[in-house]
């Protein structure tokens, strides 16, 4: 028997019946359907959060590349005010000057800093024991093994932090990835901006572009203030400590400059190390180190950084500190260093959304 388009098997339902018959996945109860949709939304949110946690380290590396690109872009824009040449050439000049400065620093101060770094743990350990003895002398009960454990964690924390920072690829590979990503983005940022905009709905692209422009402007100012603060703090601290003859002045200046990149946290750490080393040379030297720390932090915090970054994102210190603590615990030094820029970018995105919502409400009411 042949079956054509008009034939129907005896037990086969008609096409109209197939389209109306309920299947095992159909839900007839409206309340159950609504709850199922809600459950699906929550499951999707949980899956997205899990994916975000899983990809957190690569995302931080990518954001680190964006931050490095903002630094390069800021230097290229400054050169553009005096050199009317192509952007690629200005980016190349910034990179060459940065590499030349690093090589010069390593060549002239590398051996001195290396020798000082070798002595640094012993000096800090000896001073820590002196502080412990002073505390016990004045009735503060601090167990010896507790102090030793704290000291070992403070001085031996470089290994775990480096492992967190490097992740799968290691510290050096992570830094190289950040540098390479930053160079690629800095050379042609509009290419990546167009790519991100293309993935958004047409109506969202103009707002997304404006948000990116504002983020880039604020990030450049934030990093300009941070880099200027690092350079001024490190240089002035090293010169003043060298003038007084403080041991390991070059190393302390370098540590002060590097730790200045971490607002709220870096300055107390570098100041504590500086004061401990200062008191190893006597009371007068320790007091001088305290004065140097207070003067440098006062000038940098109240004059230099506000002068450069007064138009950047206004971040509450407690908010930045909380973000640093969370990011530092979760992702180590990399999260600690990027917590401030991440909070700044999130604040700008939320402000832009708030402005857009306010404009929509105003249009509806008008």
Quote the pLDDT of residue 290.
92
The pLDDT of residue 96 is 92
Is 136 within a domain? yes
Helices of type H across the chain: 15-20, 30-54, 56-80, 87-137, 144-155, 158-166, 171-187, 189-198, 202-244, 249-259, 266-279, 283-299, 305-309, 317-365
For position 21, what pLDDT does the model report?
A: 58
Q: Does the residue 125 lie in any domain?
A: yes
- Domain limits at 329? 44-150+161-356
| Position 27 in a domain | no
- Rounded to whole angstroms, the Cα distance separating 280 from 283 reads 8
Residue 297 belongs to some domain of the structure: yes
In angstroms, rounded to a whole number, what is the distance separating the alpha carbons of residues 89 and 79? 10
User: Which pair of structure tokens corresponds to residue 249?
Assistant: 């002045």
Lowest mean pLDDT among 145-154, 161-170, 335-344: 161-170
Cα gap 66→71, rounded to integer Å = 9
State pLDDT tens for residues 219-244.
888 888 888 888 888 889 989 998 88
Question: Exposed (0-12), middle (13-18) or buried (19+): which is 289, by Cβ within 10 Å?
Answer: buried
3-class DSSP assignment, residue 170: coil
What pTM, to 2 d.p., does this model score? 0.69
Considering the domain boundaries, does residue 15 fall inside one?
Answer: no
Q: Each residue of 99-128: pLDDT tens digit? A: 888 787 777 666 666 667 677 777 777 777
The answer to the question of residue 143 being in a domain is yes
Which of 15-19, 189-193, 263-267, 359-363 is least confident? 15-19
Q: Which pLDDT score, from 0 to 100, does residue 134 have?
A: 72
Q: What is the pLDDT of residue 190?
A: 84
Measured distance CA(183)–CA(73) in Å, rounded: 9
Percent of the chain residues past pLDDT 90, beyond the cut = 4
Do the domain assignments include residue 18? Answer: no
| pLDDT tens digits for range 274-295 | 888 888 888 888 899 999 998 8
Which residue reads 């708030």 in tokens? Answer: 354
Total domains in the chain come to 1
Higher per-residue pLDDT: 69 or 160: 69
Share of the chain above pLDDT 70, in %: 75
Is 138 in a helix, a strand, or coil? Answer: coil
Residue 144 domain-assigned (yes or no): yes
> At what angle are helices 30-54 and 56-80 packed, to 10 degrees?
60
In this predicted model, what pLDDT tens digit does every residue of 332-353 receive, in sequence order? 788 888 888 888 888 888 888 8
């Amino acid at each position: 028997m042949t079956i054509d388009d008009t034939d129907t098997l005896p037990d086969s339902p008609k096409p109209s019946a197939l389209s109306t018959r309920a299947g095992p996945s159909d839900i007839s109860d409206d309340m159950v359907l609504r709850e199922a949709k809600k459950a699906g939304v929550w499951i999707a949110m949980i899956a997205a959060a899990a994916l975000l946690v899983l990809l957190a380290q690569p995302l931080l590396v990518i954001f680190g590349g964006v931050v490095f690109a903002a630094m390069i872009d800021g230097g290229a824009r400054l050169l553009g005010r005096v050199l009317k040449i192509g952007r690629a050439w200005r980016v190349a000049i910034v990179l060459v000057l940065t590499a030349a400065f690093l090589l010069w620093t390593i060549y002239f101060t590398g051996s001195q800093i290396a020798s000082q770094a070798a002595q640094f743990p012993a000096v800090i350990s000896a001073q820590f024991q002196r502080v412990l003895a002073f505390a016990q002398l004045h009735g503060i009960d601090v167990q010896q093994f507790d102090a030793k454990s704290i000291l070992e964690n403070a001085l031996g924390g470089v290994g775990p932090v480096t492992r967190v920072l490097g992740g799968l690829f290691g510290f050096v590979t992570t830094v190289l990835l950040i540098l390479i990503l930053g160079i690629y983005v800095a050379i042609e940022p509009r290419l990546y901006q167009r790519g991100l905009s293309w993935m958004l709905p047409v109506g969202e692209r103009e707002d997304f572009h404006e948000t990116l422009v504002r983020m880039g402007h604020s990030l450049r100012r934030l990093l300009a203030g941070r880099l200027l603060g690092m350079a001024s703090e490190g240089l002035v601290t090293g010169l003043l400590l060298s003038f007084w003859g403080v041991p390991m002045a070059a190393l302390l200046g370098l540590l002060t400059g590097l730790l200045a990149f971490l607002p709220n946290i870096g300055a107390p750490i570098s100041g504590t190390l500086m004061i401990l080393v200062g008191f190893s040379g006597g009371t007068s030297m320790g007091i001088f180190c305290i004065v140097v720390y207070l003067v440098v932090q006062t000038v940098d915090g109240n004059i230099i950084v506000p002068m450069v970054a007064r138009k950047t994102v206004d971040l509450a210190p407690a908010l930045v500190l909380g973000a640093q603590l969370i990011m530092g615990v979760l992702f180590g030094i990399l999260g600690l260093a990027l917590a401030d820029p991440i909070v700044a970018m999130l604040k700008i995105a939320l402000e832009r959304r708030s402005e857009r919502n306010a404009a929509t409400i105003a249009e509806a009411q008008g």
